[in-house]
Amino acid sequence: MWGGHGRIINMTIIAAADGSALGNPGPAGWAWYIDDNNWGSGGWDHGTNNMGELQAVLELFRATAKEPETELKILCDSQYAINCISKWMPGWKKKGWKKSDGKPVLNQEILRELDTAIVGRKYTFEWVKGHAGHQLNEEADDRARAAATAHQSGKTPDPGPGYLGSSAPATAGAPAPQSETDCAAEENASLDVTGTVFELEQGLLDAQVRTNFTEVNDFLHPSYQEICRDGSLLDVSTVRTILESSGTLPETGPVQLLTARLLDTSLVLIAYRMNPANSPVLVCSSWWQQTNAGWKLRFRQETVENQA
C-alpha cells in the first residue's frame, strides 16, 4: 500500500491514460501515468487522438499484467476510449469487428489487442475533465504530447521507466515535459479537444450506434435539441420514440470537416458537410462539457445544401 503521492492504495492502481495527435491525424503519442517511478509513453509518426487514447489504455494493461490480481482504476478524459472498451466492444466483437453497415470498426487492431489484454483483469474507468488541472491527467497528457512532439521532430520519445510494481517507492510528481513554447502547448491542447469532440460527432454518425437508443443517449446532453434536414425537431424523448418505432435515425454519409473551434473551455462548435445518398447536407453542432459526464451534444442543425 502506498500513501502520500503514491497511486497504489489498498491494492488498487490508480492511473491516468491519455493520447495526443498534432493535427489529428498527425504525429501522435500515448502515455499512462501512475507516478514518476511508474509511467510509460510512445507514439507514431502518423495517428489520431483516438488511437493514442486506446493505445495508452492497452499499454497500461500490458505494463501491469505482472500483478493481475491488482485492480486498475483508469482515469480517462476520452469518452470514446471508455465507451469503446466498456460499452461497444462486445457488440463489435460479436459482429466480427464490423459495424452494422458491414464496414470494419476503426482502430480494430488496437481494440482486438485490448480485448485480449483485459481478460481476467479487474478494472474500472472514471471520466475526468481534460485540461482542467487534474494532476494525473495532466501528467499523462504532457507525456503523450511530448511523445507526439518527438515524432514530429524525428526523434525517439522517452519511453519512461514502465511499471516497477507496488513495491517501488512513491515520489511526488516531477515537472512535466514542456512543449517548446506555451503558445504551441495551448494550440495543441485546443487541437486535442476539438479533435476528440469531432470524433465523438463521428461516433454519433456511426450506423451501428444510430440503431440503439442506449448508445445514442451516451452522446446527448439532457437538454439536447436538433433541427433535422426535413425541418422536424428532435430531443431526447423523440429520439427514443424514433428508435423504438422505426429502429434507426436518418441516414448519414461521408463527412468533410469545415471547422472545429474551441469557443470556451466547455464549448466546442463543429461545422461539416456530409453526403447521405449523394445529397449534400451542411451540419452545425455544439458540444458542451458537463462536469461529471464529459462532452455532450447540446444542439445540432442539418440544412440541405442547394446544388446548382
Residue 192 annotated as lining a ligand binding site? no
Q: Name the active-site residue from 6, 47, 53, 195.
A: 53
Q: Name the active-site residue from 29, 42, 59, 77.
A: 77
Whether 113 is a known active-site residue: answer no
Whether 19 is a known active-site residue: answer yes
Q: Name the active-site residue from 115, 131, 134, 162.
A: 131
Residue 218 annotated as lining a ligand binding site? no
CB atoms within 10 A of CB 305: 13
Residues 6+ apart with CB under 8 A from 217: 236, 239, 240
Residue 158 CA to residue 291 CA, distance in Å, equals 32
Q: Name the active-site residue from 141, 142, 192, 201.
A: 141
Whether 141 is a known active-site residue: answer yes
Whether 53 is a known active-site residue: answer yes
Residue 77 annotated as lining a ligand binding site? yes
Whether 180 is a known active-site residue: answer no
Whether 192 is a known active-site residue: answer no
Binding residue numbers for Mg(2+): 18, 53, 77, 141
- Residues belonging to the active site: 18-19, 53, 77, 131, 141
Q: Point out the annotated binding site.
A: 18, 53, 77, 141
